[in-house]
């Protein structure tokens, strides 16, 4: 059969093999493949044999053939178009995950389009499995999108829709309750302020009874709060683990002279933790979201450690103040010894001349001595309470002098000089390392500031790290490196014997 085996193809996604068989009158011929109106290089066939022409790439083709007869006359043959389409259509779906409530409903075709390189817009040809999905029930719904072009190329996309229970009514009720509590609080405060003003206006015309045992509103609330703490302490105080944990708060009770048991510290931490949880619930309700139980764990833990941070900070400042005043206290004691006073008198002189934490600690020493404790025990208890090297030097010196005797003025001169030189060296060290410490703090803050800054610009930037097992592993490694860096730098910056 003479001519082209295939003369026209509308659209296909398979390779096309066109066979040209010349007639018996043709001595030679050439053919050119024209792809998308671009001519290729001609191919010459010097005989009368058939040729197979393979078209295997996406595009619109035609074949132009020039025949040369035995008599030298030429003739042209132009094929029809061969449309080959091997590219799949593109389904534009935007987000691949959605979260809705059971009452919202979901339009599966909202914002969904499909395009093809040959057929153009194929949005109307998209098919889905929407008839098999129920968006009124909770769960994860998988929407399947499918579209095919004329050539038979098929594209698939998946969208996951998480349907959650509709908590709108509960959220609105909670928000309404917050508003009511706020309004009642304002009304109560206004009435309370007005009653105080009236009481002040009429107080000059009235005589208070000596038997009047009434207390103010806030005193009453505070007493109820203390009773509530006492109930919690009685319950948790029966647990051995709570008793062991509460012992570490004894140093705060002694330092700040707090009139309560160490178990009450644990009770306060629990109360503050629940206050943080209540605050988080209120914030969630204001945002229109119902808080999940596991989301309340972090606020409770933050509230639970808040008092630890506050008291630790106060205790560090307390010790720092004592450390700074220790040299002055020893100087006062040394001057007292030079004036012929005893150790007890020197302790009382420190209480009289100085103020702040150091005066309170020396007052405790004086009280313990007056109550019958020997000098060595009283100073040892002082040393254990504040745990400072200066206090250890002072206690050791008092103990040696008390047991063996000696020139107390000379000993205290030595202690005073040693602590003065140590303080001087410490200040020089701080001056020399201040710039390095500043750089260390900046390098510690920069990674955190960078993460916060990027998160403010694009809140989804770091989401991949939390949604991927590899990302979680990388976060863990980064955290270890960051902590290691902080520990190593602090070790390098620390000089033994100074701090």
pLDDT per residue as tens digits for the range 333-345: 888 888 888 888 8
The tens digit of pLDDT for each residue in 37-84 reads 999 999 999 998 999 999 999 999 999 999 999 888 899 999 999 999
> Residues 357, 321: contact at Cβ < 8 Å?
yes
* DSSP conformation letters of 54-121: EE-SSEEEEEEEEEEETTS-EEEEE---EEE--PPPEEE-S-SEEEEETTT---TTTT-EEEETTTEE
Equal fold, 3-84 vs 90-166: yes
Averaged confidence pLDDT in the chain: 84
pLDDT the model gives residue 499: 46
- Written out in words, the top-level CATH class of the domain with range 90-166 is mainly beta
> Residues 356, 317: contact at Cβ < 8 Å?
no
Question: What are the residue ranges spanned by the domains of the chain?
Answer: 3-84, 90-166, 168-203, 223-406, 430-499
pTM of the model: 0.56
Low-confidence ranges of the chain (pLDDT < 70): 1, 167, 171, 175, 199, 202-218, 287-291, 493-499
pLDDT the model gives residue 142: 92
- Written out in words, the top-level CATH class of the domain with range 3-84 is mainly beta
The tens digit of pLDDT for each residue in 457-493 reads 877 787 777 777 788 888 889 889 888 888 887 777 6
Q: Which of 123, 166, 158 is nearest to 141 (CA)?
A: 158
Q: How distant is the alpha carbon of residue 95 from its chain centre?
A: 25
CA–CA gap between residue 113 and residue 91 (Å, rounded): 6
């Amino acid at each position: 059969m003479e001519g082209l085996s295939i003369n026209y193809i509308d659209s296909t996604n398979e390779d096309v093999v066109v066979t040209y068989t010349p007639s018996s009158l043709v001595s030679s011929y050439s053919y050119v493949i024209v792809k998308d109106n671009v001519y290729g290089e001609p191919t010459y066939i010097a005989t009368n044999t058939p040729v197979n022409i393979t078209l295997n790439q996406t595009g619109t083709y035609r074949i132009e053939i020039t025949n040369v007869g035995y008599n030298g006359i030429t003739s042209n043959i132009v094929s029809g178009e061969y449309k080959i389409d091997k590219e799949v259509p593109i389904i534009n779906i935007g987000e691949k995950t959605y979260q809705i409530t059971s009452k919202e409903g979901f339009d599966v075709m909202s914002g969904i389009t499909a395009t093809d390189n040959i057929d153009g817009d194929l949005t109307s040809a998209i098919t889905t499995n929407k008839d098999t999905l129920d968006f009124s029930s909770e769960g994860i719904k998988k929407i399947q999108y499918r579209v095919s072009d004329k050539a038979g190329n098929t594209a698939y996309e998946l969208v996951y829709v998480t349907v959650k229970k509709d908590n709108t009514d509960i959220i609105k009720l909670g928000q309404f309750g917050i508003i009511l509590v706020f309004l009642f609080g304002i009304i109560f405060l206004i009435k309370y302020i007005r009653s105080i003003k009236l009481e002040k206006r009429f107080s000059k015309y009235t005589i208070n009874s000596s038997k009047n045992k009434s207390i103010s509103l806030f005193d009453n609330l505070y007493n109820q709060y203390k009773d509530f703490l006492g109930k919690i302490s009685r319950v948790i105080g029966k647990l051995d683990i709570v008793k062991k944990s509460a012992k570490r708060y004894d140093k705060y009770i002694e330092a700040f002279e707090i009139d309560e048991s160490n178990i009450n510290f644990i009770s306060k931490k629990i109360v503050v933790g629940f206050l943080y949880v209540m605050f988080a619930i209120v914030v969630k309700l204001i945002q229109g979201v119902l808080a999940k139980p596991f989301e309340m764990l972090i606020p409770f833990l933050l509230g639970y450690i808040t008092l630890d941070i506050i008291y630790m900070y106060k205790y560090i400042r307390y010790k720092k103040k004592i450390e700074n005043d220790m040299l002055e206290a020893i100087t006062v004691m040394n001057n007292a010894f030079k004036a012929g006073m005893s150790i007890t008198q020197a302790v009382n002189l420190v209480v009289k001349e100085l103020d702040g934490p150091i005066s309170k600690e020396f007052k405790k020493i004086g009280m313990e001595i007056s109550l019958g404790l020997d000098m060595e025990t009283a100073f040892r208890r002082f040393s254990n309470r504040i745990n400072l090297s200066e206090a250890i030097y002072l206690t050791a010196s008092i103990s040696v002098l008390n047991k063996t005797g000696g020139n107390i003025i000379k000993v205290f001169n030595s202690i005073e000089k040693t602590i003065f030189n140590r303080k001087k060296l410490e200040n020089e060290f701080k001056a020399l390392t201040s710039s390095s410490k500043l750089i260390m703090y900046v390098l510690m803050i920069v990674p955190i500031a960078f993460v916060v800054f990027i998160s403010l610009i694009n809140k989804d930037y770091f989401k991949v790290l939390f949604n991927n097992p590899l990302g979680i592993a990388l976060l863990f490694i980064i955290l270890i490196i960051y902590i290691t860096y902080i520990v190593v730098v602090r070790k390098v910056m620390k000089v033994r014997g100074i701090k």
